[in-house]
Structure formats: structure tokens, C-alpha cells
A and B are shown apart, each in its own frame.
Chain A
Amino acid sequence: MSEVPKRCDVLIAGSGPGGSMAATFLRQKGYDVVLMERRRHPRPNVGESLIPHFWTYTDAAGVTDRLVAERFIAKAGAFADWEGERRHMAFRNYGFSRPALHVERDVFDHILFNHAVGNGAQAFEDCTVQDVEPGETVVTRYVHAEAGAGTIASRFMIDATGQQALLGRHLDVRQADDDFRFVAIWGYFEGSSYMAADGTMQPPENARTIAPTTFVTGLPYSGAGWCWHIQLRESTSVGLIVPTERIRQARSQPGGLEAFFLQQCAELPQLSILLQRARFIPGSLNVINNYSYTSARMTAPGCFMIGDASGFIDPIFSIGVTLAMYGAFTAAWAIDRSLRNAERAESSRAIFEQQIQTRMAVSRALCRPAFRAPAYTEGRLKAAMRLYSTAEHGLIRDVTGLSGRSINFERMSDPAAA
């Protein structure tokens, strides 16, 4: 193992899609990058359904070919069974020439990490960032499994620690989002059927020839709770987004959460049919409590928060990974602009803050089944929507419509642009 350096241009904490892509973008611009990861790749991660927008970033990072070569499952679109209505959408109707994907995140994240290393990022796994001191020079304390505790000084720092939200907690700017008080429970099945884009049910062995959709369905006892079904290469990911109160009851019942989860899988109308011949993989159940939050600030002197470290809402639209990549791109842009012209450091940070906050505000508004924004916010949301293309407006309208959430889109969208 090489030694952890004492200084670098940019220190990046966390190597999910956000951290690894930021490392690659900054290496492409010639900066000296250190990437620290608490765990060791490959490591499991949730968030397996990707919208086709992510290719724009992997193109820019030069990692598209590696991802294509992996032959992940191509997904055609989404299929929703929502309050008795069945609707579906296919990405190819919105001008996308490349497919969306269903990915095993251990493999996907590992490819992006290796690409950052291949581009010359100095990466350290089993290395936990403990604490960050923002400033003219950022000082970061870490503990490495072999080398022990140390500090590293950098001109800039990117917090890409995901839901750990290292800097957000440290600066006390992380705000739990009371409009989304949910728990996520998910697990994996073998032998599940899936829904194709034409609304037919297909056996698992067809996944290579007839592209699956991401199937979502609302939970009958909760307006905003829902369930996903994501066909992967060897298994199927099934998850429930359940209101916190409902989970409290479930925990106290015999069999606890696993019994609750399996019961839901057996009872939800369309899901139970897809899972009829499937086998639950023992020990594959995961839980994340109350994960929705935003951050009052997403920067501090010398520091940028990206991806889930900056905020996380409801995963209904499968945009988390793409948002993390957008954050990575924008942070790398802001750091480069600052290092090329120190007088523009402040405005670069302001542009990053504005772009990421706005993107988060738009996603949050679109996620809410019913939403009345204050006039000021509504004005900002409308201005932000004005920066999306006509094709993107059509896509957002139809995707939010799948789960009965297009009312917010209609309010925010300027008819002149739609």
C-alpha cells in the first residue's frame, strides 16, 4: 500500500458514484486527487434502477465503454399499477437512443471507482474520514485500517459520503424532511417474472431479449407509500417505501420486519403475481430508517457536498445516481474555475450552491403527491423548469403521472416551454 499523502489539491470522502465520478472529472483537468473510502469495493449499495440521463456523465468521464461491456440489464421504461390505474412509459419515446439500466450496484460502483483510479486518483479503501475543518486550506482527519489516524491538507474537499452526510452533520445544516417520513425495506428474490414495456408479464429468462421495466405500485394503506420491483441479472430487487408509523407497528408483530415484508410481497396485487414462483433469498433483507433530508447549505469554505451527502428525498423517480453524477460534475467545474482564477472562488461556490439547491428543490416538489409552494419558491421552481428541454418536460410530465404526482409538474411548468 502506498502512503497517504500529507497534501493534495482535492480530497474526496466517499467513493459511490458521486465521489468516484468527481475524482475522474478532476483528474481529467490535471488536479492531484485523493479519494478515501470507508469500505472496500465491491460493496453492496441500494439504487439499482438508472434513468438514461446518466450516460451524459459517463460519456464525459470516458467510462461508458466499460459499463456497456458489463452487459447490465437494459430497461425499457417504467410500469405503474397505481390506485387501480395501470400506466407505462418507454424512454425511447422521449428521444433517448440508449437504454436505461438495472444494475447491481456493487459491480456498477466498482467500475466507476476503478476508472477513477485508472485516471490517476490516489484511492485509499478501509479509510474513514472522521472530521473536516473547512477553510482556505481544508484539513481532514481520517483513520486508515493499516496506516492508522492521520490528517491531510487540501485546497478543496468534496463530501460524497452518501447518507452519512459527514459535513452536513458536522456543520449542523442537515434537516430531516418531515414531509417524507418513510422507512425503506428491501430484499432479493430468485426466479421472479417481470413486466415488459408493452404491459405483458415475462418469465425471468426473457430479460435479455424483452427489456424489463421498473415496476412500481402504490401501497393501499398509504397515499405516498410504494413498492419497487427491479429485475437484475441473477435476482430481483423488491423494496417497500413505508410510512414510519406503519413500520413501528410491523416491528412489534411476530416475525418482525421480515414477516411484514414477505406478507406485503404476497398481498400487493400485481407484485404477488410477479413473485408467484419466486424464492426469497434468506438474509437479503435491508432497512434504512427515515432517510429523507435536505441541507440548508451545501458548501462551506473550500468544501462541496454532492449526491446523497447534500440531500435525499423519495427514490420514486430513480434519479439518485444521476443527481450524484451531476453534483460531481458541478463540483469539479466549480473547483477548476476557482483554481484557475482565485478571484472567482466565491462565485463558483455560489453557482454550485444555487444549481444543486435548485435541482433538489425541483425533485422534492415533483415527488410530493400534493404540494403548494410559497409564491417565492414557486417562482424559483418555474424559472428552473424553464431550463429543461421540451423533450424533458414531456418525460417529467409522464413519469410523474405514473404515480399520480403530475399535479406539481403542471404548476411548475411554464406552458410556453411545455
Chain B
Amino acid sequence: MIEEAIRDYIVRNSRAALDSASLTPDTDVIAEGLVDSLMLLQMTDFIEDHFGVEILPDDLTFENFGSIAKITALIEDRSGKV
């Protein structure tokens, strides 16, 4: 499942202190410092390799990366599943 994979990726790779129990699909991962500017690029690699979709230059926004739910929606949109 996409959402699980993204959640897992953030838990494993985030540099900020993370209380993994309280990380929900709607947690603001940017405000919390879990996704910073480096993570945005590293996660782009992960998403492209793992889901076989392409992230475009205009995609790196809060609207697409602000929560696990938003990232999931972006990937679903790119894989034409919606």
C-alpha cells in the first residue's frame, strides 16, 4: 500500500525527532520538520524508484508533500489510479 510505504520511509529516514505513534496520514510533516529540503529530494528518488512514476519540477510543493495523505494522492495521481 502506498500510504504504508511512505509512512515507513519517513519513519526510517527523517532527521527530526519523531514520535512514530502520533504520525497520522494528516500530520503536517513539513511543519513538524520531518520532511525538509533534503528529504524532499531524497523522497523524490524513493517515489520514482519504488512506484515507477515521475516527479515533475512543479511538484515539489507543500500541497503535494505536506502530509502522508498528500504524498499518497500525488503518487496515485501520477500512476493514473484515480
Contact = CB atoms under 8 A, between A and B. Distances in A.
Interface of A: 56-57, 59-60, 95, 326, 329-330, 333, 337, 344, 347, 350-351, 354-355, 359, 383, 386-392, 417
B36 A354 contact: no
A329 B31 contact: no
27 contacts: A56-B15, A60-B38, A95-B33, A326-B37, A326-B38, A333-B42, A333-B45, A337-B45, A347-B54, A347-B56, A350-B57, A351-B41, A351-B57, A354-B57, A355-B41, A383-B61, A386-B30, A386-B66, A387-B30, A387-B61, A387-B62, A387-B65, A389-B16, A389-B30, A389-B31, A389-B36, A390-B33
B81 to A, nearest CB: 22
A391 B37 contact: no
A333 B41 CA distance: 7
B36 to A, nearest CB: 7
Nearest to A350: B57
A159 to B, nearest CB: 20
Nearest to B57: A350
B74 interface: no
B41 A330 contact: yes
Contacts of B30: 386-389, 417
Contact of A390 (B32, B41, B42, B62): B32
Contacts of B18: none
Contacts of B54: 344, 347
Contacts of A59: 15
Interface in B5-58: 15-16, 30-33, 36-38, 40-42, 44-45, 54, 56-57
Nearest to A336: B45
Contacts of B31: 389-390, 417
A386 B36 CA distance: 11
A391 B62 contact: no
Contacts of A57: 38
B44 to A, nearest CB: 8
Interface centre among B32, B57, B61, B66 (most CB of A within 10 A): B57
Contacts of B37: 326, 355, 359, 387
Interface of B: 15-16, 30-33, 36-38, 40-42, 44-45, 54, 56-57, 60-62, 65-66
A337 B45 CA distance: 8
A330 B40 CA distance: 10
The DSSP consensus for interface residues of chain B is: loop
B62 A386 contact: yes
B32 A329 contact: no
A14 to B, nearest CB: 22
Nearest to B45: A337
B40 A387 contact: yes
B41 A392 contact: no
Nearest to B39: A56
Contacts of A333: 41-42, 45
A57 B37 CA distance: 11
Contacts of B15: 56, 59
B14 to A, nearest CB: 11
Given A333-B42, A387-B40, A389-B31, 11 more contacts: A326-B38, A333-B41, A350-B57, A351-B41, A355-B41, A386-B61, A387-B60, A387-B62, A389-B16, A390-B33, A391-B33
A204 B30 CA distance: 40
A95 to B, nearest CB: 8
A386 B13 CA distance: 21
Which of A337, A383, A389 has the most C-beta atoms of chain B within 10 angstroms of its own C-beta?
A: A389
Contacts of A392: 33
5 closest Cβ contacts across the A-B interface? A389-B33, A386-B62, A350-B57, A390-B31, A333-B41
